[in-house]
Structure 1
Amino acid sequence: MSAEEPDYTQLPLEERLQHKVWKARLEAYQELTNQFQKTADENDPVFKPYLANPELFKKIVTDSNVVAQESGITALCALLEYGGTPAATRLRQQVIPGLCEKGLSSSRAGTKQKTIEALLWLIELDSPDPVVELMVPYLSARLPKLVAGTVKALYEIYSQFGAQVVSPKLILPSLPKLFSHADRTVRAETSNLTVELFLWMGDSLEQILFSDLKPVQQKDLTVAFEKVKDQKPTQKRLLKSQQIANEQNAAAAGIADEDNDVVMGSTDEPATIDPYDLVEPVDVLSKLPSDLTTRVTSAKWKDRVEVLTEVEKEMNVMKYLDVDYIELVRILAKCIKDVNIQVVSLAAKCIEFMAKGLRTRFQKYIQTVLTPLLERCKEKKPSVLDALNGALDAIFQCSSLSEVLPDTLDAMKSKTPQVRSATCQYLIRILKETKIPPTKSEVAEIITSAVKLVGDTLPDVRTRGFEAVGTLMKICGERELNSHLDSIDDLKMKKIKEFYENAEVKSKMNSSTKPTKASASSVVSATGSKGSVPKASSTKRKSTIGKPSSGIPSSSSLSSSSLGATSSIAKKRTTSSIPSKRGPTSPLKSDPSNSRLGSVGKSGLTGRSLQSTTSSSLHLNGSNNSHGLTDAERVELEQLRQEKLKWQQEREKQKWSLEESMNDSSKLMKEIQQLSSKIDKLNEQHTSDLMTIKSRETQLQRAQSDLEISNLKISQLENEIELIQKQKSASAFTVPSFTLDASSISNSFHGSLNNGHQKPLQDSNVSPYVNESTSSSLGGLTTGTKSIDGLDRRVSGLSIDSNDQKENGALYTRATLDTSDESWRRAAEVTSQLKARIEKMKAKSRASSQRNL
C-alpha cells in the first residue's frame, strides 16, 4: 500500500463497514466474505452480529459506490450460502427492496448477476412466495431498466426452480401491463418470461393471459410458443427442503454407490398446472343487471334475450366467488323452459359458465337445473343442443356419476323420443368419462333402463341403447351383465358387442385394477422429485440391511451405511450446478481417515440425520476428546441443535401463518363492509318495492271500483235494450192489422172538396186542404188498434203540400230504417203507396179548382 493511502486494515471491522471512504468499505466487505467462507456451520458466532442487526446489510447492498456495492452483494451471497435458512429468513425483508432498487437497475453486469444470485439463495433457503411478493411492486416502477431487471430476475427464478415450486399466481396479473410497456427491453424480457412460464404451464397460460392481450401480442406469443412446445422443462435448482428430503430418502434406501447421484430435477413431463388455481375469484352477482328478475319475465322475447346476453357476458369468467347463487340458478332453470330457443341457449351457456366457475361448489344446485336441461333436449336445432350438452357435461365435471344418475335415468323414460335419445347419449358420455365405476345397484338400474331402449320402436333410440349397454359392459365386464341380457336376441347382441369392443372408458370394476395399500403408497411417493425413492422399494432395501438380534443397529453398520450415502451426496454437490458451500476448514476434516466428517461438512452438523451423527460420534470418540466433550454430551448437543433448528423453522412458519391470518382478516373485513353496503342497498330496494306494491294495490282498488260502476251501467243499458226490444215486438204485432181503402179515401177527399167544408188538421203536418171527412177516413185506418200511436204520428205527418214533401219522405225513410222487421217494411210500402195516391188527389183537386175559377 502506498504512503499516501492510509492502512484501513488496522481499524475494527465494524467501523470499516460504515467508513466514509469506499475503499475501506470495499476491504471490509471482502474480509467479511472470507470470514463467512471459513465458518464451521450455520450456527457459527460470526453470523450473529449481522443477523441481530439486519439493517447493516440493507446499507451494504445499497452502497453508493458501485464497486463496493458489488463486493457487498457478494458478501451477502456468502452469508446466505453459509448462514443457511436462519440468515435468509432474518434478512429477507430488509435486503430485497435494496437488491431490486440498486442491484437489478445497476449498470454493471457483475452487480446484476450477483443480485440475481442473492435472490436465488433467498428462495432456495426458505419459501419462494415471500421473495416474489417483495419483487412484484417493482414491476410497475417508473424506471424502465429497474422493471427490465426485475423481469429478468423473475425469468431466472422460474428457469431455475420451475413454476411448480414458484407459483406464477403472483406475477400473472402484471404480464398484460408489461407487454404494453413503452420500453422495448421490458417487452422483450417479458416475452422471455412468458415463454418460460409456457414450458411449465402449457395451454393453461393462454386461457389466463390471452384474454387481456391485443391480437398482435397474441399472435407473436403463439409463434414463440410453437417453437418451444416440444421442449420439456427441468428443475435445475432444488429448495433446501427438497435437498433434505432427497438426502433422507437416499440414506433410508442405503445407497452406497458413488455413481448413483442425486438428481437435481425431474426429467419427466411436469404435472399440468391448473389455471383455476392461479386466478382470483370474481363476484359475478354484483355485476349482473339490477332489474334482471323484471326483464327476464318480460312478455317480449327480445327483452328476455337482451338481458340474458348481458348476463352471459358477465358470467363468462374462470373462477366464481363462493356465495349463494340459488336465486340466479332458479332464474336460469326457468329460462330453460322458455318458448324462445335463443333464451334457452343463453341460459344453458350461463349454467355451463357457472358450473365451470364453481366446480364442486355447484353440486348443491344440480337438482335444480339438471332435469329442465334433460327435458329440453327435445329441441332439434344443433346450436341449442350444443348449448344444452355443454351445460350437462359441465355439471358432470363438477359432480360424479352417482349424483347425476337418478335424474338421467328418469329422463330416459320420457315419452318424447328426442329426449330419450339425447339422455341416453349423455349417459354414454358420463360412463366413458367417470373415473369411479358405478356400484352394483347402479349397474342394475342402468342396464334395466338401457335394455328398454334396446327394444325401442325408433332406430336412433335403439342405437343409443346398444351403445349404452356396450359401454357399461366395458366397465363391468360381460359376466356382470349376463343375467340382464337373456331376453336380447343374437342380432342385437352382435351390435352391442361391436360397441363393447370399440368403447374407451376410464374406469373398470375389475378387482385387479383396484390399488392396494402398498401400491397406493408407492404412487404417493412417486409424485415427488425424481431423486426420491418410492416407499415400497425403500422398504425392500431396508430389509436387506443387516441388524443385530437385539434390534439396535451397531455402530459399524450405521457408520458404513451412512458414510456411503453422505459421500455420494457430497460428490454430487461438488459436480452439480449448485456451487460448493465450503471446503474443509480444519486438519480434522482434511484428514483422509476422517473423510466422513469432510463429506458432510458442507451442510454442517445440522444437515445430517441423528443416526449418522451418533455413529460418527461413536467412530471418532477418541479424537474428539481433545475438545473436552464426552460422546454423550456431543450427542445431546447435536440433539439440542436440531431442536433449535426445528424451533426456528416452526417460529418462522407461525410468523407467516400469523401474517396470512392478518391478511385473511383484512380481506374478511373488506367483505363484511361490502356485504353491509349490499344489505343497505337491498333494504332501500325493499322499501321502494313496498312503496311500489302499495301504489299498485291502490291502483287495483280503483280499478275494481271502476269495474263495479261499469257493471252497473252495463246492467242498466241491458235493461233499456230489453225494454226497447219489447216495444218493437209489440209494434210488429199491431201494425200489420190495418188496411187501406183507397177508394174510400178518394171519395171522402173529393166529397169534402165539393162541399167546401175545409178544416185543417190539428197537430199535424198535413196540408189544411184536407177536410174533416178526409181526416176521419184516415183516422179510420187505425180503428181497432190501441198501440199504434207511433205509426199514427208518422202517418199524420204526411203532408200534401209540396213544400213538406221532402220532409215527409225523410221522416218515412227514417221510420223504415229504424227496424229490420218484415212488418215494418210492409207498413212502409203501404205508406209510400198512400202518399202517391194523395199526391194524385192533390193534383186533381187543384185542376178542378182552377176550372171552377
Structure 2
Amino acid sequence: MADAEPDFSSLPLPDRFAHKNWKVRKEGYEDAKAQFEKTPDESAPVFTPFLNDPSLWKGAVADSNVAAQVEGMGAYCSFLKFGGPQACARTRHLTIGPISEKGLPCARPAGKASAQEALLLCVELDKADPVLEDLLPTLSHKVPKVVAGALAALTLIYHNFGCKIVDPKPTLKALTKVFGHADKNVRAEAQNLTVEMYRWLREAMKPLFWADLKPVQQQDLEKLFEGVKQDAAPKQERFTRAQQDAMAAASAAPSGGGAEEEGEEYAEDEDEAEVLDLAEPVDIMPKLPKDLHDQLGSSKWKDRKEALDALYNVINVPRIKDGPYDEIVRALAKCMKDANVAVVTVAANCVDLLARGLRNSFMKYRSTIMMPILERLKEKKQSVADALGGALDAVFLSTDLSDCLDDILEYLKHKNPQVKQETVKFLIRCLRTTRIVPSKPEIKSIADAGTKLLTESTEGIRAGGAETLGTLMKILGERAMNPYLDGLDDIRKAKVKEFFETAEVKAKDRPKPIVAPPKPAAPAARKTMAPGKKPALGMKKPASAAAAIEDPPAKVAPKGIPSKLGGIPKAGGLAPPGSKLRSKLGGPGGLASPVRRAAPPPAEEEAAPPAAPKFGLGRGLAGRPIAKPSAAAESAPAPAPAMSGISAAERAELEQLRDEKERFARSIEDMKSERSKFNNQLTELQNQNAQLIEDHTRDVLSIKAKETQLVRARSDAEAAEANVQKQQREIERLKRELARALRATAMSPPHAPSESGNMGFSEPASMYHEASSGTPSAARSGLHMGSRFESSRPRSYASASPSEEKENNGHESPSLGSRDGGLGRRKLSPTYGYSNIGSPTRSSTRNSTSHADEDQQPRSSEPAENWKRAAEVTSQLKARIEQMKARQGLSRPPTQR
C-alpha cells in the first residue's frame, strides 16, 4: 500500500507559494484567500510577507498549472481588495504583465474573470496610468489571443471608469496598428474598444487616429457608431478609492445632498472639457497663406473668397494654439461688411472655427468681432443667418453672458426687424447655455427687454420676447419671476408659461432655505414612550431627544447650540433644546445635580439670565413652578448620574432611531447596488438590441439581393422563352418553305414509263409533230402529257429532295412551262439529235430504290423491263418523227443536224 501524501498545511504561506508541487501551491493560494477575507483591516499581519516579497504574486498569477493559476488569480484579487492601496502599489509592476500574458487569455472563464477583476482593482485602488503603461505593450504581442484578451480588458476598464479616469490618448494612438492585425478576433475586439470609447468621447476622438485608418475600416466603424449615437451619455459605474472617500465625506456633511446635485449638474461640462483636452494645440501661424491680407483686399470677390477658403482649411483643427490673431480677427470683422454674401458666409465660418479652437483665449477678440456680426444679421438668406448665428454662439462660448449682454441689449433696439429677431434668438441661446445665473441688474435688463419685445408688431419678435421671459423664468423660478410679469395680460402670461414649461437650461438659481418661524411651547408635557415601543408611522422625530444627548443638565447659552436650519435661536424665541427635559428633572430653573454645582462650566458657557416670556408669564410646565421653591428643593429627588440628562424611554427611542438610520443606510446601499446592476443589464440589452438590429439589417439586405437576382432570372427566362417561340416560328416557316419546294420539285422530274409499254401516250403522232414544231398546241399537248406522266410516276420520285436531284443530274431541271413542251428535258444525242429524256435514269432509279427501302414498300415492276420498254417506245417515236419530217420535206441532211 502506498504511503499517504504528506501534509504541507503547516508550512508558511510564502513557502507554499514557491513549492514545486502544484497541488501544494493550489492549497496555499486557497488558504491565503481565506485568511485575507478574515482580516479586520489593511494592517493585518497576514499581508506583511507578501508586501515584503511582492515577487510571490508574479508566480501565483502566472502559475504553470491552470487549476493553480485560477486559484492564484483569485487569491491576488482578495489580496488587493482587502490589502488596500499599499498592496496594489507594491505588487502592480510585477503582476500586470503576467496577468495580461497568461491570465487574460486563460481558457477557463473563472481565471479570465479573475484576471480582469485584478486589473479593475488596480485601477480602483490607485490610478489607471501605471496599468495602461504595462498593459498597452501587450498589444504588440505575437500571440493573437493575448492581444485580443488585452483589448477586451481595456474595453472593460473604460466601460467601468470612463475616459475621465482612464486617459484615452495612449489607447487611441495604439489602436491604428491593431486594426491591421491578421486575426479577425483581434480586429473585432479593437472595434468593440473603439465603440466603447466613442460612447464617452464622440467625435472628439477621431482627430487622434481616424486619418490613419483605411476607408473600409472607417466605413465599418461609422456603421457601428450609428448604433450608439442615440444612446444617453454614459455614467461611471465604478469609482476609485479617492472618489469613494470623497463621496463618503460628502454624504456625511450636512450639505452633502446639495453638493451631489451640483456635481451631477456640472459633470457634463467636465466631460466636455475632458473631451476637448484630448486634442493637442496646433500652431497655425506658419501655415497661414503669405498673401492672405492682400487677397482679402482684392476688388474681386472670388479672390477674397479663395483667401477665406484657404484660411478655413488652415484653422479647421479641434484646438488652436494661442497667438497674436488680432490682424486676422480685424480682417474677418471687415469681411462682415462685404457686399458678397458668399464672402460673408465663409468669414463667419472662419470666426466659428477660430473661436472654438482658441476657446477662452478668444475672449480678448470679442469686442472686435461681435458687433459687426450682429450688424450683419440683416441678411434674410437663411444660410447666411445660420453661419452668423454659429459664429455668435462660438464667440459666446469663449466669454460669458455678462460680457455679451450689453451688445445684445443694444441690438434688441435696432430699427431693422430682421436684426432684432436674430438678436433675440441669440439671447435665448445664451440663456440656455450659460452656466452662471445672471445678477439682479442683468435679470432686470433682460426682463425689461423681453417685456418690450412683446409689444412688437412682428410675430416672430413677439414670440422671441415670450421665449426669453420663459427661459429666464426657468433659470430663476416662478416666484422670482413674478414681479416682472405683473403688468402682462393673461394671454401673454400664458405664452410665457408655455415657453417656461418647455425650456431647457443649464443654470438654475438655488434660493436659500426658508427658516420656519419659532413655535410656542406645548401646553402639556410630551408623553414618553415605553421602552422597546417603536414610534407610530408618520410621527415626527422629537427634537429634544437628540439635543439632550449633547446638552448637559446645566443651563448653557443658546448660542452654543447649533440649529438644524443653520441659524441660532434668538433670546426671546423657543427655549433651547432639552429645556423640557431639564424642567422635568430639576424644576423650573433646571436645577443641576450636586456634582454639577461642584464643577461649574467655564465662564463663556455660563447661561445668561432667562429672558421674559414673549406672551406674558410662561405657560405650561416649563414656565411655572410646581410647588414652593423651598419645598421643591427639599422634595426634589437627585437624578441618577448614569442617566446623563435623558430618561430610559428617550434612550430607547434614540437607539431605535439609530437602528432605523442604519437600516435606511443599508437599504440605500442595496438600492445603489441594484441600480448599478440594472444599469449593467440595460447596457447589455442595448448592445444585444444593436446586434439584433444589425443582423436584421443584414438579413433584409440579403433578402433584397435575392429578390433582385430572382427578378433578373425571371426577365432572362422570359427573354429565353420569347427567343424559343421566335425560333419555333422560324422552324415552322422553314417547314412550310420546304414543303412548298418539295411540291414544286415533285412536278419537275421525268415520269416513269407505264406498265402498258407506250408510257401512257394515247395522242396521235401529229401531236408530237406539233410539239417538235414548237406550236402552241404542241405545248399544250406536252403539258398534258407531263400531267399524265406526273399521275403515273411512282411515289419514290416525289420523295427526292431538290438537293438530291441536283446532285444526281448535275443541273437544275427546267419547269414544265418551258418551250420544250410537256415532254420533259431534251438532250442532244450524238446519233438521233434531240431526244426526250422521259425514261428513268440511273440516279433516279437509285433514289427511288433508296426511298423505297426506307419506306419499306415493294416495287410494282422490275427496273430492267422498264428500261427495255422505254427504249422501244423511244425508238418507235423517233422513227415516226423522222417519217413525218420526211413527208413534209423537213428532213435535214446529217451535216446540218
TM-score w.r.t. structure 1 length? 0.51
In the aligned structure 1, how far is the partner of 2:504 from the partner of 2:288?
A: 47
Q: Secondary structure at the match of 1:51?
A: helix
Rate the CA distance shift 1:177–1:366 in 2: closer, same or farther, 3 A.
farther
Decide whether the 8 Å contact of 1:251 with 1:565 is kept in 2.
no
Please tell me whether Structure 1 or Structure 2 has the larger radius of gyration of its CA atoms.
Answer: 2
Does the CA-based 8 Å contact 1:200-1:233 persist in structure 2? yes
Distance, in Å, in 1 between the alignment partners of 2:509 and 2:439 is: 14
CA 1:97–1:573: 2 relative to 1, 3 Å: farther
Quote the residue 1:155 is aligned against: 155
- Specify the code of the residue in structure 1 equivalent to 2:484: E
Match of 2:510 in 1: 515
Decide whether aligned partners of structure 1 residues 168 and 507 sit closer, same or farther in structure 2, where only a CA change above 3 A counts.
Answer: same
Separation in 2, partners of 1:57, 1:312: 56
Question: Could you list the per-position Cα deviations for residues 368-405 of structure 1 after superposition, in whole angstroms to 9, with x for gaps in the alignment?
Answer: 11012122233344322221111012222333332123
Q: What is the CA-CA distance between 1:346 and the residue it aligns to?
A: 1.7
**1:224 is matched with which residue?**
227
Cα 1:430–1:560 shift into 2, 3 Å = closer
Q: 1:440 to 1:38 in 2, by over 3 A?
A: closer
2:71: which partner in 1? 71
More deviation, 153-162/370-379: 153-162
1:734-756 CA-partner distances (Å, limit 9, x unpaired) = xxxxxxxxxxxxxxxxxxxxxxx
Report the equivalent of 1:93: 93
Check conservation: 1:138, 1:147, Cα contact below 8 A: yes
5 Å-filtered alignment, 1:661-700, equals none
Counterpart contact for 2:420–2:461, Cα < 8 Å: no
Change in Cα spacing, 1:518 to 1:453, as seen in structure 2 (3 Å) is closer
Following TM superposition, by how much is the alpha carbon of 1:104 offset from its aligned partner in structure 2, in angstroms?
1.7
| Helix, strand or coil at the partner of 2:549 | coil
Partner amino acid for 1:156? L
**How many residue pairs are counted as aligned between the two chains?**
532
1:719 is matched with: none
Partner of 2:357: 357
In structure 2, relative to structure 1, the CA distance for the partners of 1:116 and 1:422 (3 Å cut) is closer
Distance 2:669 2:435 in 1: 43
Cα deviation, 1:274-293, whole Å, max 9, x if unaligned, reads 34412233314257335264
Deviation by residue 1:161-200 (Cα, 9 ceiling, x = unmatched): 5667656566455556555544321233344445555666
Quote the Cα distance in structure 1 between the aligned partners of 2:23 and 2:210. 51
Q: CA deviation at 1:221?
A: 0.9
Kindly provide the CA deviation profile for residues 54-75 of structure 1, in whole angstroms up to 9, marking residues without a partner as x: 2332343334444443333233
Q: Which runs of 5+ in 2 are unaligned?
A: 255-262, 474-480, 516-539, 553-643, 675-897
Write out per-residue CA displacement over residues 707-751 of structure 1, whole angstroms, 9 at most, x where no aligned residue.
Answer: xxxxxxxxxxxxxxxxxxxxxxxxxxxxxxxxxxxxxxxxxxxxx
Please state whether the residue corresponding to 1:371 is helix, strand or coil.
helix
User: Which shows bigger deviation, 336-345 or 190-199?
Assistant: 190-199
Corresponding position of 1:306: 306
- Summarize the alignment of residues 365-384 of structure 1 with structure 2, pairs less than 5 Å apart: 365-384=365-384
Letter in 2 for 1:308: L
Higher helix share: 1
Q: In 1, distance between residues paired with 2:310 and 2:663?
A: 67
> Which residues in structure 2 correspond to 1:654-665 (within 5 Å)?
none
Of the candidates 481, 484, 493, which is equivalent to residue 480 of structure 1?
484
Alpha-carbon distance, 1:367 to partner: 0.7
RMSD: 5.3
Partner of 2:228, secondary structure, is helix
Aligned to 1:81: 81
Residue in 1 aligned with 2:345?
345
Residue 831 of structure 2: aligned partner? none
If asked which structure has higher relative contact order (CA below 8 Å, sep 6+), I would say 1
User: Match of 2:510, as an amino acid?
Assistant: P
3-state SS in 2 of match to 1:515: coil
CA contact 2:62–2:98 (8 Å) conserved in 1: yes
Residues 617-656 of structure 1 mapped to structure 2, 5 A cutoff: none
Distance 1:251 1:440 in 2: 34
Deviations along 1:471-499, one digit per CA (max 9) or x if unpaired, are 4554475853788x9xxxxxxx9997786
Q: Distance in 1 between matches of 2:22 and 2:166?
A: 37
Relative distance call for 1:505 and 1:312 in structure 2 (3 A) is: farther
**Offset at residue 366 of structure 1 (A):** 0.8
* Letter aligned with residue 219 of structure 2: V
Once the 2 structures are TM-superposed, how far is the Cα of residue 44 of structure 1 from its aligned partner? 1.5
Q: Is the 8 A contact 1:434 1:507 kept in 2?
A: no
Counterpart for residue 285 of structure 1: 284
- Amino acid across the alignment from 1:277: E
Kindly state the Cα deviation for residue 351 of structure 1 after the two structures are TM-superposed.
1.3
1:546 Cα deviation (Å)?
6.0
Distance 2:443 2:656 in 1: 58
SS at match of 1:105: coil
Residue 274 of structure 1 pairs with residue 271 of structure 2? yes
Partner of 2:336: 336
After TM superposition, give the deviation of residue 47 of structure 1 in Å: 1.3
Work out whether residues 432 and 506 of structure 1, in 8 Å CA contact, stay in contact via their aligned partners in 2.
Answer: no
The letter for the 2-side match of 1:82 is: F
Confirm or deny: 8 A CA contact 1:202 1:272 kept in the other structure: no
8 Å Cα contact 1:288-1:314 kept in structure 2: yes
Query: Does 1:144 pair with 2:144?
Result: yes
Question: What is the CA-CA distance between 1:157 and the residue it aligns to?
Answer: 3.2
Residues 245 and 349 of structure 1, relative CA distance in 2, 3 Å threshold: closer
**Deviation per CA, 1:99-144, whole angstroms, max 9, x where unpaired?**
1123223444443222112112223333345434543443454432
2:462 is aligned to 466
Provide Cα deviations, 1:521-544, integer angstroms capped at 9, x if missing partner: xxxxxxxxxxxxxxxxxx989986
Structure 1: distance between partners of 2:154 and 2:326 = 43
* Unaligned residue ranges in structure 1 (runs of 5+): 254-265, 486-492, 521-538, 579-853
Relative to structure 1, the CA distance from residue 172 to residue 517 in structure 2 (aligned partners, 3 Å threshold; closer, same or farther) is farther
TM-score, with length taken from structure 2: 0.49
Q: Which amino acid aligns with 1:280?
A: A
**Cα deviation code 1:436-456 (max 9, x no counterpart):** 565565567668878998999
Does the 8 Å CA contact 1:54/1:91 hold for their aligned counterparts? yes
User: Hey, what's the Cα distance between the residues in 1 that align with 2:291 and 2:645?
Assistant: 75
1:376 counterpart SS class: helix
After superposition, give the CA deviation of every residue in 1:205-263 in whole Å (9 maximum; x if it has no partner): 8999988874532443145337xx5689776655445665677788889xxxxxxxxxx
1:426 aligns with 2:426: yes
Equivalent residues of 2:432, 2:504 under 8 A apart: no
Q: Provide the rounded CA distance (Å) in 1 between the counterparts of 2:188 and 2:544.
A: 56
Deviation of residue 298 (structure 1)? 5.5
> How far apart in 1 are the matches of 2:469 and 2:266?
34
Measured in 2, the distance between the counterparts of 1:190 and 1:519 equals 55
1:201 Cα deviation from its structure 2 partner: 6.8
Task: Output the CA distance in 2 between the equivalents of 1:172 and 1:542.
Answer: 58
Q: State yes or no: 1:188 paired with 2:188.
A: yes
Q: Distance in 1 between matches of 2:126 and 2:98?
A: 19
Residue 41 of structure 1 aligns with which residue?
A: 41
* Structure 2 partner of 1:394: 394
